[in-house]
């Protein structure tokens, strides 16, 4: 089999060795002669998996004392509502920065619970930049941000000062760069962008923030209940948690988040310098806000689209079609994507220029 260069935006590429280990555990887990997915989640073998996954999150992100790490279900899309219902007081409100489709959905869910102030929005320019220059009010219960905008290819390079706890949807850049967890009241992230298969969502939450809303929160949405049961209030998504744990082990073996951040920077620099140099391509996001995870770009001459797509296909490059709301191309360069794959894409872009530039 020839190698595919997988630039998928999500679910996305995971390390080959993780796939290998995960497939072995599906047949025979820990030499039990049973599959990982046919044993009790309360068995010591699986409890050890959950504990290791949580410990690896804490270690890799240097999570301070006073925070809990949970592996739950529902995707980041449930996180929109769940983050708000756990931190927005009854009769309270939240502040949001609207940086794209995912933020827009988070705002929509929060409005079902109370007041929403949108402090800044880049919708006027199809979310091609990160709004700045607003002041976060102190009378709201929290500020909600989306750190990386998977669809539009923008990313917060610095987070705003906030007098209230910050909730951050980090679905598409968690573990890709160092963050100071103490700056956040809650971080949540669907696994399938940079951590594992779809099916689990990680929550990192500051304990002291829970339990003060005055709401009767449904049990399955109540982070305090899940915390009290160590993410085992009900049957956890065992396979997704296991593969996430393997990916985090792999990440630790790569040297951790600081080391992967350097590799991610090198990949992004390689691709963006070609996008900027090559007259046949143009980036769609504001340069200062460009995402190191999802690079969005278009052809300057649309007539070359078919030829470019053919070159891309014959180089075994997969998954660079842009999201329908942006068009053009999107190259997602998550942790497991090797620099080699980016070089192959850059070579195809150069090749197009040699033929038609």
- Residues annotated as catalytic are 102, 169, 193
* Position 199 contacts ligand PLP (CB under 6 A): no
Closest approach, Cβ 75 to ligand PLP, in A, equals 3
Among all chains, which residue has been given the structure tokens 């296909």? 313
CA angle 152, 271, 266 (to 5 degrees): 105
- Which residues have a Cβ under 8 Å from the Cβ of 249 and sit 6 or more positions away? 52, 56
Q: Applying CB under 6 A, which of residues 30, 47, 52, 75 lies at the interface with ligand PLP? A: 75
Candidates 71-79, 252-260, 283-291, 334-342; binding stretch for ligand PLP (CB under 6 A): 71-79
Q: Which of 76, 210, 342, 352 binds ligand PLP (CB under 6 A)?
A: 76
Helices (runs of H) and strands (runs of E) counted in the chain: 9, 14
Closer residue to ligand PLP, CB minimum distance, 150 or 284: 150
Quick one: tokens of 238?
Answer: 């065992």
User: Site size for ligand PLP, by CB under 6 A?
Assistant: 12
Give the burial class of 197: count Cβ atoms within 10 A of its Cβ; 0-12 exposed, 13-18 middle, 19 or more buried: buried
Residue placing its CB nearer to ligand PLP in the complex, 29 or 156? 156
- What is the distance between the alpha carbons of residues 243 and 256, in angstroms, rounded to a whole number? 17
Enumerate the β-bridge partners of residue 283.
297
Report the residue number whose CB is nearest to ligand PLP.
75
153 counts as binding ligand PLP under rule CB under 6 A:
no
Cα separations (Å) of 158 from 68, 180, 258?
24, 11, 16
122 binds ligand PLP (CB under 6 A): no
Is 274 a residue that touches ligand PLP (CB under 6 A)? no
Of 331 and 352, which CB lies nearer to ligand PLP in the complex structure? 331
Instruction: Name the residue nearer to ligand PLP (CB basis): 30 or 101.
Output: 101
Token pair recorded at residue 89: 């007081």
- CA neighbours closer than 13 Å in the CB half-sphere of residue 42: 5
Binding mask 160-189 for ligand PLP (x = CB under 6 A): ---------x-xx-----------------
**Residues within the interface to ligand PLP (CB under 6 A):** 10, 75-77, 102, 146, 150, 169, 171-172, 190, 193
């Amino acid at each position: 089999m020839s190698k595919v260069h997988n630039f998928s935006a999500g679910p996305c590429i995971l390390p080959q060795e993780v796939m290998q280990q995960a497939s072995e555990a599906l047949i025979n887990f820990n030499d039990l002669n049973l599959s990982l997915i046919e044993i009790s989640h309360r068995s010591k073998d699986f409890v050890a998996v959950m504990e290791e996954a949580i410990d690896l999150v804490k270690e890799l992100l240097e999570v301070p004392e006073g925070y809990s790490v949970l592996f739950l279900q529902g995707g980041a899309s449930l996180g929109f509502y769940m983050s708000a219902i756990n931190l927005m007081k009854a009769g309270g409100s939240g502040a949001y920065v609207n940086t794209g489709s995912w933020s827009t959905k988070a705002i929509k869910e929060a409005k079902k619970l109370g007041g929403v102030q949108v402090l800044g929005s880049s919708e006027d320019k199809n979310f091609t930049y990160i709004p700045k220059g607003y002041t976060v009010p102190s009378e709201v219960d929290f500020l909600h941000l989306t750190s990386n905008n998977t669809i539009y290819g923008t990313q917060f390079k610095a987070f705003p000062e906030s007098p209230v706890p910050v909730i951050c949807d980090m679905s598409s850049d968690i573990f890709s760069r160092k963050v100071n967890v103490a700056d956040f009241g809650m971080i949540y992230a669907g696994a399938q962008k940079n951590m594992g298969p779809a099916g689990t969502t990680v929550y990192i939450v500051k304990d002291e923030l829970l339990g003060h809303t005055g709401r009767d929160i449904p049990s399955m949405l109540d982070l305090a209940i899940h915390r009290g049961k160590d993410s085992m209030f009900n049957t956890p998504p065992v396979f997704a948690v296991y593969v996430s744990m393997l990916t985090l082990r792999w990440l630790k073996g790569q040297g951790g988040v600081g080391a992967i951040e350097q590799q991610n920077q090198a990949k992004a620099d390689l691709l963006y310098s070609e996008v900027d140099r090559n007259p046949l391509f143009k980036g769609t996001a504001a340069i200062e806000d460009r995402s190191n995870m999802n690079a969005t770009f278009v052809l300057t001459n649309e007539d070359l689209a078919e030829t470019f797509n053919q070159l891309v296909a014959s180089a075994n490059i997969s998954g660079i079609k842009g999201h329908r709301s942006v068009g053009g191309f999107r190259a997602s360069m998550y942790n497991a994507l090797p620099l080699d794959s980016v070089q192959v894409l850059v070579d195809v872009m150069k090749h197009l220029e040699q033929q038609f530039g």
